[in-house]
Every structure is written in structure tokens, then in C-alpha cells.
């Protein structure tokens, strides 16, 4: 129980509305986690995995109609539709509250109302924020245990009058007296994930899955936090954070934003191929950044765990992710092996001879279907990552020297490009695009703009978001701001072959960026930015054909000129809120390209 009167009153208000059988305040202890896992084993939600293989790990399957974030049922209820902007689904906040109150009335009958006090970021950090999630799902409680800092210590930090984000969640499946429950309760046909940025509230109804239900994830850490960051002068970004250490022991930190299927988690846990270089992970998905007393931007990972897409994760693509999952993990919608372990596509070079798929059906390699759902997930604590950075929980954060932005582009965009200025870097990030894969909606190979990789998760008008980034650039001395880079691991030749080997070889690009921010790396000025000078990119031992190197680092003037009208069309969507500074950057780019 908390001494915070406002929190007590809110819990009582929700108790009266949702009518649960009981209230349980979560203390964040291991005993609490173990008890709730045991409860879910008894109800059929969890299957305990073989202890000898994955100690204290569990497997579960969701309802087939509740398998992913539902963007079309995700709403931002700002005061006006103009504040939400063209990239968000807007509803009038008063009208939406009336709808939600009707849905939540009696929604927790027969269930327990869990009160989850949690800290986004190290408890007590000046960059951290506190949230309280009220939920009727023990699955949510256990995942929040792994993904955030939960419990009594958070209530102590909150004190009697601290600010917190109100997060209300229900699976929307009340139980009548003596009604049997199901393994995965949800209200699949009636989902709402609703954000009230002006009052710092999140209401989620009907789904028990992922970011729909773990409200510290995208809902708080990006949609609500981006508004808080705008109002308070900091950054809440969809970025990994990594520490890169040279053979001489010098360490620099970088943050990077990529759309889905562009290697974000792989980069966060990279195993460098360059001798003596080391990458350590601060975070794989979210970065919150504030200016320190020295004028530099310091970042924390507001999360305490990884909630990653399982398919495609392997010892060849991301060994450190797999090693993080050896114990104390939750697996959702993967396949199950006969000996009590999990499997998913590409986890091993050869699939097992038989499995039970995520829909409980027998599966063999000759089946014409996937064994795991494409959005199957793993949850585990970040502290289990073998390359977790020693400063990942430093309350003051880590100093960021470089920002990386990039997408999946077969043409036009070179391997690496340093922005000419802060404003030019913001421009590059604002027009960032990626060719879609099966991981994103739409036709495969279609170019989709995803500014700053924030398109679905910015909680306000993106024109204002661009303006906020430009404003951040004026809040400190230029030499103390991170340099901005655009990268592209996916450039292809005329035959459709990807030219760059990627994965651990990306450390070569990181090394050049490291040298640039250290004042050592050589670069040449081009119309689109600064590219590595001849010999500046360390290709030792790579045996990359010279023609590939030239193609990776060429400035495709015609391709960029062809992009100009597409960028203008993209910018037109933001109307009068598009900052004039970005229009100026576009015009300057066209002038440089035309010589």
C-alpha cells in the first residue's frame, strides 16, 4: 500500500468501476513472480519449460486473435485532432472516456486487480519516470517484472506526492460466479489502446498481448514520453544504445533508430569482427536523453528487459540475444519441442523433426506453414545479456557521441553518410525510408517513410516533433551535440544482391564513426553529406571487391534528385507545422545536387 493519497484514490476509483474480486499491490519480489508463474501454470496459461534446458522459464500461447500490436485500434486523444497530427488516430478525449468507462464497468469481475508501481529507468535517476499500471492479467505482471523496475522501492521513490503516469489495463473478460476461465482471456473483437497525453494517462482494453498490455512499452516509453519530452526539453526516442570500446580502451556511446527488420537488436548486441573492438548493450529499443551539466546529452534505457521478436534470432544473427534467454525467460507464441524447449524459424540451421506449433498442432519440416507465429516473442531481464554495458543502470545515463538513422534501401542511400550539420541530420532522419518486408504492413519492397523510426509511436504532431529536434540542437554548444549519421546495410547491385555483409562487419562502420567523433577519421564532402575518404573505412581482411566498395560509397546524384519530389510529397503531409528549417535543408540539398 502506498502513502500517496492521489494513488490510493485512483486505485479505489478503478476498483469501484471495474469491480474485481480483490486488489493486490505488487511488491516486485522474486516470491511474487514465482507465485504468479505457478498460478498461470495451474490455469494452463503457462507451461514450465524443462528445467535442465531453461531454468525458471515458461511458454505460453495467446488467443489466435490476439497476437500483435493493433495500430488501427490505437488512439491518441489530444485536445484537438491537429495536436495529434496526421500520423495518429484521434478521438475526442471526452467522448473516448465515456466509451471506455462503459467498457471497463464490471470488466474485472471474478479477477484480481493488480497494482504495479514501476519505474521507467533506474529508480531515482533524474531521467527516469514512474508509472502505475492497474491490470487484471498475471501475465502482464510477470512481464512487467522483467521489463521494468517494479514494486515497493518504486512506491518509496514516488513518496506521498510524486507524479506518475496512470496506466489502466483489462483483458475485458469478466467472470461470472463459477464460470471457468480460459488460458488466454481477452476480448479480441473489442480492443482499445488509448493515450491521453495531456493528462498522462493510458487506458487499454481487450488485448492481453505485448505492447497492447505492457503499458510501459511503446505506450508510456514513446507515445506519452515523447509529449513529456517535448514539454520538458528532452528526447524520448525509438533507439538502441550501445557502447563501443576501442582496442586502446576508449569507450563512446551511440544511439540508433531503425524501422522494423533493419537489424536494430542485432546492432545493439553486435559481436565485432574487427580485432580488439568491443560492443556492449545499454538498450535495444528505447532511449531517453537529457542534457547533463556539461552540456552533453545523456541517455538511459528506460526498460529493464528485452521484449524481442523471436523468429530470425539465432546464434549466427544475434548470439548474445540467445545467450540472454538461457534462463528466467517467458516465450510467447513460439513452437514447443517434444523435450520441453522452445523453437522458432531460423533458430537452428536444421529444424527439429517434429514440434507442436503455436496453434497446438503437430508440425514437421515438410509442413507448409510456420511453426512459430511471425511475431512470437521472448521476454527476459537485460541484466542476463552477456554484453550488457557496465553503465547501463548508471542513474546519470551515458553520454551520446553519435546518432545513427537508417532503413532498408536497395538503392540511392550509401553505406554511411555523416550529416553536414545538426539541422541537416534532422532533415536526413525526417525523410528516412525503408523498403517494407513481411514484418511491416503493405506490399513487400514498397518504400515507406518512417521519420526517426517514430511514425507509429510519436504521441503528437510529427511536424512539431521535427521542430522539437531542431530546438534541441540549439540547447547546447555544437561541439557537445552528438553527430548524426545515416547508414544503410542493404545497398544492392544491379542483380539484386546485397553488397555489404552486415552483422559483425557493421563494426567497421561503427569504427569510422567512432574515429570521426574523436576527430581522427577522414571524410570527403559531397552534396548529400560527408562520406568516408579513400582508405578511411577499415576493410582489412574483408575481401570486398573494389566495385562493391565504390557502389556502397557512391553519391547517386540522379537517384537523389528523383527523391526530391517524393520528399516534398512526404513533407506536404505535415502541412503548416513542418518547420521552415527542414524546407531550407531540402532546397539546399537540391541546389548542391544540381551543382
Is the per-residue pLDDT at 235 higher than 50? yes
Taking CA atoms, 80 is separated from 128, 196, 465, 579, 591, in Å, by 28, 11, 16, 20, 38
Q: DSSP labels for 320-381?
A: HHHHHTSSSEEEES-EE-TTS-EE-TTSSSS--S-EE-TTS-EE-TTSSS-SS-TT-EEEEE
Percentage, residues of the chain above pLDDT 90:
93
Dist CA 401 CA 585 (whole Å) = 23
pLDDT for position 464: 98
pLDDT category, 263, cuts 50, 70, 90?
A: confident
Is the per-residue pLDDT at 444 higher than 80? no
The larger pLDDT score, comparing residue 487 to residue 68, is at: 487
pLDDT for position 1: 76
pLDDT for position 51: 85
> Any idea what DSSP says for residue 191?
-
Dist CA 578 CA 572 (whole Å) = 8
Is the per-residue pLDDT at 533 higher than 50? yes
Q: What is the mean pLDDT of residues 166-185?
A: 96
Q: What is the mean pLDDT of residues 265-269?
A: 94
| Cell reading at 117 | 508501481
Dist CA 23 CA 77 (whole Å) = 29
pLDDT for position 22: 98
132-170 in b/e form (b: 16+ CB < 10 A) is bbbbbbbbbbbbbbbbbbbbeebbebbeeeeebbbbbbb
434-449 in b/e form (b: 16+ CB < 10 A) is bbbeeebeeeeeebbb
Dist CA 28 CA 273 (whole Å) = 40
Query: CB under 8 Å to 118, separation ≥6 — which residues?
Result: 130, 131, 132, 133, 144, 148, 149, 150, 154, 216
Query: Positive or negative CA dihedral for 524, 526, 529, 531?
Result: negative
CB atoms within 10 A of CB 74: 22
pLDDT for position 445: 62
Is the per-residue pLDDT at 202 higher than 50? yes
pLDDT for position 439: 43
CB atoms within 10 A of CB 233: 12
Helix/strand/coil percentages in the chain, nearest 5:
30, 25, 45
Cα 14 → chain centroid: 29
pLDDT for position 437: 54
Dist CA 123 CA 101 (whole Å) = 32
pLDDT category, 438, cuts 50, 70, 90?
A: very low
Please return the burial class of 367, using the count of CB atoms within 10 Å of its CB with bins 0-12, 13-18 and 19+: middle
Query: CB under 8 Å to 571, separation ≥6 — which residues?
Result: 578, 582, 583, 586
Is the per-residue pLDDT at 179 higher than 70? yes
Closest CA to 11 of 113, 101, 109, 161: 113
pLDDT for position 346: 95
- Per the DSSP assignment, residues forming a β-bridge with 252 are 244
Query: Positive or negative CA dihedral for 66, 68, 73, 76?
Result: positive
> Any idea what DSSP says for residue 451?
G
> Any idea what DSSP says for residue 33?
H
Dist CA 287 CA 236 (whole Å) = 6
Taking CA atoms, 265 is separated from 90, 251, 428, 429, 454, in Å, by 31, 20, 22, 19, 16
pLDDT for position 494: 84
Q: What is the mean pLDDT of residues 114-133?
A: 98
Angle (CA) 303 127 261, round 5°: 40
3-state secondary structure of 406: strand
pLDDT for position 343: 98
H/E run at residue 288: strand 287-291
3-state secondary structure of 25: strand
Is the per-residue pLDDT at 256 higher than 90? yes
Task: Please write the tens of the pLDDT for every residue from 149-170.
Answer: 999 999 999 999 999 999 999 9
- Per the DSSP assignment, residues forming a β-bridge with 278 are 245
Q: DSSP labels for 194-244?
A: EEETTTTEEEEES--SHHHH-TIIIIIIIIIHHHHHHHHT-EEES-EEEEE
Q: List active site positions.
A: 262
- CA-based R_g, the chain, Å: 24
Could you tell me the domains of the chain? 5-44+70-233 (3.40.449.10), 237-304+390-594 (3.90.228.20), 306-384 (2.170.8.10)
pLDDT for position 194: 98
Q: Say if CB 89 and CB 76 are below 8 A apart.
A: yes
Query: CB under 8 Å to 463, separation ≥6 — which residues?
Result: 85, 574, 575, 576, 577, 578, 579
Q: What is the mean pLDDT of residues 542-565?
A: 95
Is the per-residue pLDDT at 69 higher than 90? no
Task: Please write the tens of the pLDDT for every residue from 474-489.
Answer: 999 999 999 999 999 9
Amino acid at each position: 500500500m502506498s502513502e500517496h493519497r492521489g494513488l490510493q484514490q485512483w486505485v479505489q476509483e478503478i476498483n469501484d468501476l471495474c469491480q474485481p474480486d480483490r486488489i493486490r499491490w505488487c511488491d516486485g519480489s522474486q516470491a511474487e513472480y514465482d507465485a504468479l508463474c505457478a498460478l498461470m501454470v495451474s490455469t494452463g496459461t503457462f507451461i514450465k519449460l524443462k528445467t535442465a534446458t531453461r531454468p525458471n522459464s515458461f511458454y505460453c500461447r495467446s488467443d489466435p486473435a490476439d497476437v500483435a500490436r493493433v495500430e488501427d485500434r490505437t488512439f491518441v486523444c489530444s485536445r484537438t485532432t491537429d495536436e495529434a497530427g496526421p500520423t495518429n488516430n484521434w478521438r475526442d478525449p471526452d467522448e473516448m472516456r465515456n466509451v471506455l468507462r462503459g467498457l471497463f464497468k464490471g470488466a474485472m469481475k471474478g479477477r484480481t486487480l493488480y497494482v504495479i508501481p514501476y519505474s521507467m529507468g533506474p529508480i531515482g535517476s533524474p531521467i527516469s519516470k514512474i508509472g502505475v499500471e492497474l491490470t487484471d492479467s498475471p501475465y502482464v505482471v510477470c512481464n512487467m517484472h522483467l521489463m521494468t523496475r517494479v514494486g515497493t522501492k518504486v512506491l518509496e521513490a514516488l513518496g506521498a506526492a510524486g507524479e506518475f503516469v496512470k496506466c489502466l489495463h483489462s483483458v475485458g473478460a469478466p467472470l461470472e460466479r463459477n464460470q471457468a476461465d480460459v488460458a488466454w482471456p481477452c476480448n479480441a473483437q473489442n480492443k482499445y489502446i488509448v493515450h491521453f497525453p495531456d493528462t498522462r494517462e493510458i487506458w487499454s482494453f481487450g488485448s492481453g498481448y505485448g505492447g497492447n498490455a505492457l503499458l510501459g512499452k511503446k505506450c508510456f516509453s514513446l507515445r506519452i514520453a515523447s509529449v513529456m519530452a517535448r514539454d520538458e526539453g528532452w528526447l524520448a526516442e525509438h533507439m538502441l544504445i550501445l557502447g563501443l570500446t576501442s582496442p586502446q580502451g576508449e569507450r563512446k556511446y551511440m544511439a540508433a533508430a531503425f524501422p522494423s527488420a533493419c537489424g536494430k537488436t542485432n546492432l545493439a548486441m553486435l559481436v565485432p569482427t574487427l580485432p580488439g573492438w568491443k560492443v556492449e548493450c545499454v538498450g535495444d529499443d528505447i532511449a531517453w536523453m537529457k542534457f547533463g551539466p556539461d552540456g552533453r546529452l545523456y541517455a538511459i534505457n528506460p526498460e529493464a528487459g528485452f521484449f524481442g521478436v523471436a523468429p530470425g534470432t539465432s546464434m549466427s544473427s544475434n548470439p548474445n540475444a540467445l545467450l540472454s534467454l538461457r534462463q528466467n525467460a517467458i516465450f510467447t507464441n513460439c513452437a514447443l519441442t517434444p523435450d520441453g524447449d522452445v523453437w522458432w524459424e531460423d533458430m537452428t540451421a536444421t529444424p527439429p523433426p517434429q514440434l507442436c506449433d503455436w496453434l497446438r498442432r503437430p508440425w514437421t519440416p515438410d509442413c507448409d506453414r510456420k511453426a512459430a507465429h511471425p511475431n512470437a516473442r521472448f521476454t527476459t531481464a537485460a541484466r542476463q545479456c552477456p554484453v550488457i554495458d557496465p553503465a547501463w543502470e548508471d542513474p546519470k545515463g551515458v553520454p551520446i557521441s553519435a546518432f545513427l538513422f537508417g532503413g532498408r534501401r536497395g538503392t540511392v542511400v550509401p553505406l554511411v553518410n555523416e550529416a553536414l550539420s545538426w539541422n541537416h541530420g534532422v532533415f536526413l532522419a525526417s525523410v528516412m525510408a525503408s523498403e517494407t518486408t513481411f514484418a511491416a504492413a503493405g506490399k513487400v519492397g514498397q518504400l515507406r517513410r518512417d521519420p526517426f523510426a517514430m511514425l507509429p509511436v510519436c504521441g503528437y504532431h510529427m511536424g512539431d516533433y521535427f521542430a522539437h529536434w531542431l530546438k534541441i540542437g540549439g540547447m547546447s554548444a555544437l561541439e557537445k551535440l552528438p553527430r548524426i549519421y545515416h547508414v544503410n546495410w542493404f545497398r544492392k547491385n544491379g542483380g539484386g544482391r546485397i553488397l555489404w555483409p552486415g552483422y559483425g562487419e557493421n563494426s567497421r562502420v561503427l569504427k569510422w564513426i567512432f574515429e570521426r567523433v574523436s576527430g581522427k577519421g577522414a571524410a570527403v564532402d559531397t552534396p548529400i553529406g560527408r562520406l568516408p575518404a579513400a582508405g578511411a573505412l577499415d576493410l582489412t581482411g574483408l575481401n570486398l571487391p573494389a566495385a562493391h566498395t565504390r557502389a556502397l560509397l557512391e553519391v547517386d546524384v540522379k537517384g537523389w534528385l528523383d527523391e526530391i519530389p517524393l520528399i516534398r510529397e512526404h513533407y506536404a503531409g505535415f502541412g503548416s507545422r513542418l518547420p521552415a528549417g527542414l524546407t531550407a535543408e531540402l532546397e539546399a540539398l537540391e541546389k548542391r545536387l544540381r551543382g
